[in-house]
Amino acid sequence: MNKYRLRDESRTFSYQIHGEKKTVVPRQIRGLRSLAPPTQCE
Protein backbone atom coordinates (compact mmCIF):
# COMPACT_ATOMS: atom_id res chain seq x y z
CA MET A 1 0.00 0.00 0.00
CA ASN A 2 1.37 3.41 -0.94
CA LYS A 3 1.40 5.94 1.88
CA TYR A 4 2.38 8.88 -0.33
CA ARG A 5 1.77 10.14 -3.86
CA LEU A 6 2.78 13.12 -5.96
CA ARG A 7 0.24 15.92 -6.10
CA ASP A 8 -1.23 16.71 -9.51
CA GLU A 9 -0.57 20.43 -9.27
CA SER A 10 2.88 21.84 -9.93
CA ARG A 11 4.52 25.20 -10.47
CA THR A 12 7.68 26.26 -12.24
CA PHE A 13 10.57 27.54 -10.13
CA SER A 14 13.41 29.51 -11.74
CA TYR A 15 16.77 30.39 -10.23
CA GLN A 16 20.16 31.59 -11.36
CA ILE A 17 23.61 30.19 -10.52
CA HIS A 18 26.75 31.99 -11.75
CA GLY A 19 24.74 33.79 -14.41
CA GLU A 20 23.15 30.59 -15.75
CA LYS A 21 19.37 30.46 -15.47
CA LYS A 22 17.83 27.15 -14.35
CA THR A 23 14.18 26.15 -14.31
CA VAL A 24 12.71 23.18 -12.45
CA VAL A 25 9.21 21.90 -11.83
CA PRO A 26 9.03 20.70 -8.21
CA ARG A 27 6.18 18.41 -7.18
CA GLN A 28 4.74 18.11 -3.70
CA ILE A 29 4.41 14.78 -1.93
CA ARG A 30 1.03 14.17 -0.35
CA GLY A 31 0.43 11.79 2.53
CA LEU A 32 -2.54 9.46 2.08
CA ARG A 33 -4.94 8.55 4.85
CA SER A 34 -4.95 4.98 5.97
CA LEU A 35 -8.32 3.24 6.14
CA ALA A 36 -7.00 0.55 8.44
CA PRO A 37 -7.64 0.92 12.18
CA PRO A 38 -4.58 2.12 14.13
CA THR A 39 -2.54 -0.57 15.83
CA GLN A 40 -1.43 -0.28 19.41
CA CYS A 41 2.24 -0.77 20.27
CA GLU A 42 3.02 -2.51 23.52
Residue 10 inside a domain? The answer is yes
Range of the domain at 8: 1-28
12 in a structural domain: yes
One pLDDT digit (tens) per residue for the chain, 42 residues: 568 787 777 789 999 999 999 999 888 888 877 666 666 665
pTM over 0.85: no
Q: What pLDDT, on a 0 to 100 scale, did the predictor assign at position 40? A: 66
* pLDDT at site 34: 66
Report how many domains make up the chain.
1
Answer whether residue 33 is part of any domain: no
Q: Which alpha helices (H) appear in 1-42, and where do they start and end?
A: none
C-alpha distance from residue 9 to each of 14, 15, 18, 40, 42 (Å): 17, 20, 30, 35, 40
